[in-house]
Chains A and B, each alone.
Chain A
């Protein structure tokens, strides 16, 4: 695709230059129309790969470009941007909400909303969950996170076989959401869906968890209204993070 090729050229030019370049300098250097280069720069700016100096209007490589290998969405930023949508999810589902991202092969809880029944609960932001045995983890694994070599067993229902897990992740991709039914804690179930940023990139997952008889129906399947609540919340956060509507 020509536009990607041109974007790559703009980035190389900015990386190789001795500081900030103006729009005119970039378009001259690449022999491209100013309008074309401007469009490319605006898109690159939106995703953080390019920054524009406020005073001069000149362009340079963005901080996101320098951190390309290290995960680009700050976890505190993810919490801040999703807090408005996690609260309604807790209110509508009546269950506790957690948002997670991948950290060293596990799920890092970056946000936690109490189950709205005013009972005593403890914040577990910063704690780690097993990635293969939770709905949050499976939503992250289904869209690109790497599967750990060792799959520890927590209950009789934990998926400890790589082939079973791969099958389950295929189902997650097909359905667009994930669940864990007593796979991590007996009597507990959870539902999660991926949070996407620009370009559809999955940056986290949001989900609810609670007693299995509240989360699941009489056929031991997650209740469809709860699944819809989770998916709506994931879509709302994704939209705020710049993902296209899907």
Chain B
């Protein structure tokens, strides 16, 4: 019998990857392509959706070629995507209308500020279980409709379609199927998280025509059959990247949590069939929904800047030549020398949600070297994790006992050890750092029967590395106090 595989498309913020997985959930081959980032104005971030689709078209066959596999050996395709990034396109030509507006983009700042106080805002917050923030896609759709003449009329006539990245890719893959998955839909502010369908009241609040929205589907279940890139292959799953990582880490039971360290970092805790509303600055979100089953929910702690702080250190300060060298530089010293960096580059996300905050470097003395700065860069990711874990423990009433980690930064041993130290719990990396892609593959494989059930997937999970806490309590508390004082220095920097 010839080996069969599942392919994941991981459409991320900086690059698109196609990864071929085998039945053990192990990576067989990978093809990756970065796409261009457009920064037309301060605070604006855009992608060209057409470029991203061309990359998928090219990477799919390339990944299969590297695996030595043919298209008929592919059991299913799954999609994991950058969330909240907003694409509009023309139903007839299939061409994007303008660039996609990326999740980091803050152009809707003023509009969201005004909407936050408008009548009906409480209802939106209640139905979506989200705060009104520039982070989510609904306000972006409104902004695009307001700023492209004639677009609203065309959208009302159903000539213009909206989608997050998975919607766009499924539309291109199938040649015209307009659907979204429930996890991505839960990041728009437009979904009612209890009915799992678009809320007419929220659509009216934002002034977004129903005709432009995709149909909301479960995350795991056959969406359709691809006619391009993977012709003849069924699309078995689509999930927002962080939800995909939760699924890839096999956090299927309430109380199980993971943190993915990428450009930003995202800690998600499975809360089961129950939607938990945070009182400590976390988001409530749909974790996944398997077709024919109730949705599972999650609490999410989103940290805007972690890996991107290392990129800034490399590209803007030019103190290192490649991201992994941050560890080499940090190891030239034994501590941070009293220096702390709070990367509030575009405000602070969880648990503060302060859009007016801006980054600081504090504790500078003539003693500080670039090695200390490198330490402070890594430590910032760990302390931000600590703040989110504290909020999660308070909301859930449970203390996290182990942190499952994944993402590119898990290759950094100094960082992983420091996270274990500041959380005072073991940090565990599974035998698959690419959990975002793996989650999409697991979902797709489950949908077509390639994997029988969740238990089968759990058996694929193995511990690849573990870091145990070593820091003394006194030191941990002192350092945490310093960090929190540093954070307070970022507040109220941007004045209205």
Contacts and interface: CB of A to CB of B under 8 A. Distances in A.
Interface of A: 63, 74-77, 79-81, 83-85, 87-88, 90-92, 111-114, 116-118, 121, 123, 125-126
A87 B327 contact: no
Contact of B26 (A77, A87, A123): A87
Given A75-B328, A76-B328, A118 B411 contact: no
B470 interface: no
Contacts of B27: 84-85, 87-88
B5 to A, nearest CB: 13
Nearest to A86: B464
The 7 closest A-B pairs by CB, nearest first: A116-B462, A80-B324, A76-B324, A88-B26, A80-B411, A77-B324, A76-B327
A90 B326 CA distance: 27
A114 B413 contact: no
Given A87-B27, A87-B432, A76 B465 contact: no
Contacts, number: 77
Given A77-B325, A84-B434, A90 B413 contact: no
A36 to B, nearest CB: 28
B18 to A, nearest CB: 14
Given A92-B26, A123-B413, A125-B413, A84 B325 contact: no
A80 B408 contact: yes
Interface of B: 24-28, 30, 321-328, 408, 410-413, 431-434, 462-467
B34 to A, nearest CB: 15
Nearest to B433: A83
A84 B434 CA distance: 8
A92 B463 CA distance: 14
B328 A113 contact: no
A114 B324 contact: no
Contacts of A90: 431, 462, 464
B462 A91 contact: yes
A91 B328 contact: no
B411 A76 contact: yes
Contacts of A126: 413
Given A84-B27, A116-B431, A123-B413, A74 B322 contact: yes
Contacts of B323: 80
Contacts of A92: 24, 26
Given A76-B412, A84-B433, A87-B27, A114 B464 contact: yes
A112 B325 CA distance: 18
Contacts of A91: 24-26, 431, 462
30 contacts: A63-B321, A74-B324, A74-B325, A74-B328, A76-B324, A76-B325, A76-B326, A76-B327, A76-B328, A77-B322, A79-B324, A79-B413, A80-B411, A81-B324, A84-B433, A84-B434, A87-B27, A87-B432, A87-B433, A88-B28, A90-B462, A92-B24, A112-B465, A114-B462, A116-B464, A117-B462, A118-B462, A118-B463, A121-B466, A126-B413
